[in-house]
Structure 1
């Protein structure tokens, strides 16, 4: 019997090594990894520059309390502020913690109590971020949720225009809903949310835990739409696999998070900051992001050309290397077949195959993945028609 709580539906596969986009399991089988730790390994597995930075820090100091100055925090925060156009950073250990910090900051700064989020959103599994998540399956079995969260339909401009209240601290959203089905927000909708925040004196909070750190071909996905958020959260790809999260905010919010208002024992520790700094120095380079845009645009078009004509495929959607293939039926069987054929993917909701390759994926690897996708879906379709 396992000594672990069964909180995950684990596959009967153990991955034991990886380099770049390729991983190998304990039986010696090699896969193209288009999960990347769920958008975590943005520089691929074992990136040399991040490994070197963490190894060097291991020889100096592993952990020190935030009671002391940590220069690596300042350096990493400066990179994040520059990439986001915001001004101050709070470091923590995960996306859920970053979203918790955002919720606390919005309420404390505005003196208001209500946070609006959207149906099919995902913001984490702590009690507050679970309550912020607009999915009943995440709430089920936990009793009364944290009060003062309300959910609106995503991409519904009229629903946003109809908001009328004076107690809204913030509106929190994903520019592309990840766990909810790889659902991109329309620019009209996103702009309307920002406009409503300004009308209400509420903070615009953008959850970039999955979409951020270059995943969509920009430092953050909101930058494709010219949005000006008050708070942005990041995690996943931020440390190339090292556990770390960040909440980034505007200058006028700084005084609200004064000493004693929030904290984290491990947040911003030297090892995490070494990983963050090395990761950001690579990803936030303009030439690197241009390559992500170029490769992902070609790949998405190839997916559309090859797959959207198949009866089983409804739509290819997404931005950059955050891609969803929406099927007519459930995605589970297709994902299993892809895995058998050497391509690791994951679901986003019941009927979407989600593709999250490392941003360093090569054109050859993209062509290989496309071939596996086309052959696997065609074969499944042929078997279903017998």
Structure 2
């Protein structure tokens, strides 16, 4: 192809459901990326909590090459060694007894919600179909999961939506107590709302969910797509609470950048997915599972997880120092390396503007809605990159304040 590849091509050849930046990254190593012009950036975005080990981690690359020369894909008429190895690793590291693999977080959540309904019907009642979710949650982009998510902006125009899903206020145990019933088959919750603005569930709230779900024979589903795989300093966020879910979903960082997802559950609940009830062409393919197996091996390490908590303090302290001088943020929330900086009222609606200014200064950041800047860097981002990236972010913050 002789056509020069540039940002202008996006409008010509891509469906316009995204609005990407003008620059195009072409190379990544560790926590650094470079664009077509050779400009270097420090990556505080991490593919939205995906690149948990940075870009092109040598051991991940080695595993990818080895498996790529061995066996890429099989249909689920057969199983494969990497899938069985990864499933055993996940079971050994969590409450789970059985695993279902998929390709994305939405698919894992879709499977979890389907499993909850069929399990309830098989064990209790055909009328036990109600799913409770929470306002400002996010669970994926399929019609079922976008309906379970509690943000109207993602469902507008796609009606009619799947029914019997109730949305309640997050961290409001009284509201749940008033609405949960014997017709509730599941409650789905993010331990930390990611797209909703990096809002942490209160421990008493999650403990109350567990109690009420058990009382009403409803399954408790933890959506750990964004919080799992070391992001909070625990392998999965539930391990930092005194709460164990019935089903847990994982994706994003599970493959450290390679597409793969998983639904984790108990043997008793998994039994409701009998042969033919659910499936996936690519779910559990050898290439993805081999990569995820190596990523899990590297991440599920006490030294690495402790390093996440140390880096959390560096980010939290550094951002607070910047804010003391510049004053853009009304709140800074850090849960491991899932960091949200909420803009003051004066700058509400301008999180994307700060993202653009940061990119100009050479640091990549994210948003979580129009009012929150989100940072989800590599779990092993070098300390000098944290320091330098915060300096570049400070310049962006100053430019936004002066430009206002």
TM-score between the two structures when normalised by the length of structure 2: 0.92
CA RMSD of aligned residues (A): 1.3
- 2:254 is matched with which residue? 238
What is the correspondence of 1:1-386 to structure 2 with a 5 Å cutoff?
A: 2-111=12-121, 112-307=128-323, 310-328=326-344, 329=347, 330-384=350-404
Render the CA deviation track for 1:271-321: whole Å, top value 9, x for unaligned.
001111110010011111111112222321332233256432101003011
CA drift at 1:379: 3.6
Unaligned runs of 5+ in 2: 1-10, 122-127
TM-score between the two structures when normalised by the length of structure 1: 0.96
Task: Tell me: CA distance 1:89–1:313, structure 2 relative to 1, closer, same or farther (3 Å).
Answer: same
CA drift at 1:85: 2.0
* Alignment partners' CA distance in 2, 1:308 and 1:189: 32
2:334 is paired with a residue whose SS is: strand
Unaligned runs of 5+ in 1: none
* Alignment partners' CA distance in 2, 1:191 and 1:301: 30
Contact in 2 for aligned 1:50/1:274 (Cα 8 Å): no
Contact in 1 for aligned 2:312/2:334 (Cα 8 Å): no
Render the CA deviation track for 1:132-163: whole Å, top value 9, x for unaligned.
11001000001111101110011122212222
Mean alpha-carbon deviation: is it higher for 323-332 or for 299-308?
A: 299-308
* Alignment partners' CA distance in 2, 1:226 and 1:251: 21
CA drift at 1:240: 1.4
Contact in 2 for aligned 1:176/1:318 (Cα 8 Å): no
Task: Tell me: CA distance 1:76–1:308, structure 2 relative to 1, closer, same or farther (3 Å).
Answer: farther
* Alignment partners' CA distance in 1, 2:321 and 2:236: 27
Task: Tell me: CA distance 1:383–1:10, structure 2 relative to 1, closer, same or farther (3 Å).
Answer: closer
Contact in 2 for aligned 1:117/1:150 (Cα 8 Å): yes
The structure 1 segments of at least 4 consecutive aligned residues displaced by more than 3 Å after TM superposition are: 308-311
1:162 is paired with a residue whose SS is: helix
Task: Tell me: CA distance 1:138–1:292, structure 2 relative to 1, closer, same or farther (3 Å).
Answer: same
